[in-house]
Each structure stands twice: as C-alpha cells, then as structure tokens.
C-alpha cells in the first residue's frame, strides 16, 4: 500500500529531533513537544495503586504511592516490577 505524500515521521537522533517528510524534505520539530501525549496521560493510572500519574522529565510519578515509572522511546513502561520505589526517609 503506497504511503501518502503528506505523511511525516518523527525521527530522533542523539541531540537532534526532526520530522522527515515522505517526499524527502525535513524540518525541525518543536522540541517543547511533550514526551507523552497529554490526552494519554489523562487516562493512565498507576498499576500498583490506581493513583494519578504525573509527568516529571523522563518518568511518570504516582501522586499516591510515589512509584516512578520510566518512559522509553516515548512509551511509558507501566510494569510494577520496573517501577522505582520511593526513597525511604532517613530516621
């Protein structure tokens, strides 16, 4: 099936982000673009406690249990086993 000419692909290289058009033209993408789509973030929940997740750099953090879930290549890894546990305060 042929790819429409207007289709573009987001390509990431170390230190660079650009959009490649199918016709060969390239232009720089907006680097302020969020790592996770805000609409997706609204429906995601912590798999451990079902709390609200918030975006913090390259992690999703649960507001309830404070587990931190990594984001790899724009995909949140929402596995309890992969989550970083909150740091315990020194007593």
- Over the range 38-53, which residues count as b (16 or more CB within 10 Å of their CB) and which as e? eeebeeeebbbeebeb
The reported pTM is 0.60
* Residue reference for tokens 């997740």: 53
Q: Are 65 and 46 in contact (CB under 8 A)?
A: yes
Q: CATH number for 38-82: choose from 2.20.25.10, 2.102.10.10, 3.40.50.2300, 2.60.40.10.
A: 2.20.25.10
In the chain, where the domains are located: 1-33, 38-82
91 residues of the chain, pLDDT tens digit each = 554 444 333 444 344 444 434 444 444 444 555 688 889 999 999 999 999 999 998 899 999 999 999 999 889 999 999 999 988 777 6
* Residue reference for tokens 């609204």: 42
**Residue 51 CB partners (closer than 8 Å, separation 6+):** 45, 62, 63, 64, 65
């Amino acid at each position: 099936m042929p790819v429409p000419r207007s289709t573009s692909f987001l390509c990431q290289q170390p230190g660079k982000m650009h959009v490649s058009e199918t016709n060969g033209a390239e232009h720089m993408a907006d680097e302020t673009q969020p790592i996770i789509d805000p609409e997706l973030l609204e429906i995601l929940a912590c798999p451990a406690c079902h709390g609200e997740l918030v975006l913090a750099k390259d992690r999703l953090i649960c507001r309830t249990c404070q587990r931190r879930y990594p984001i790899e290549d724009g995909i949140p890894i929402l596995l309890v086993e992969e989550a970083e546990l909150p740091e315990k305060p020194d007593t």
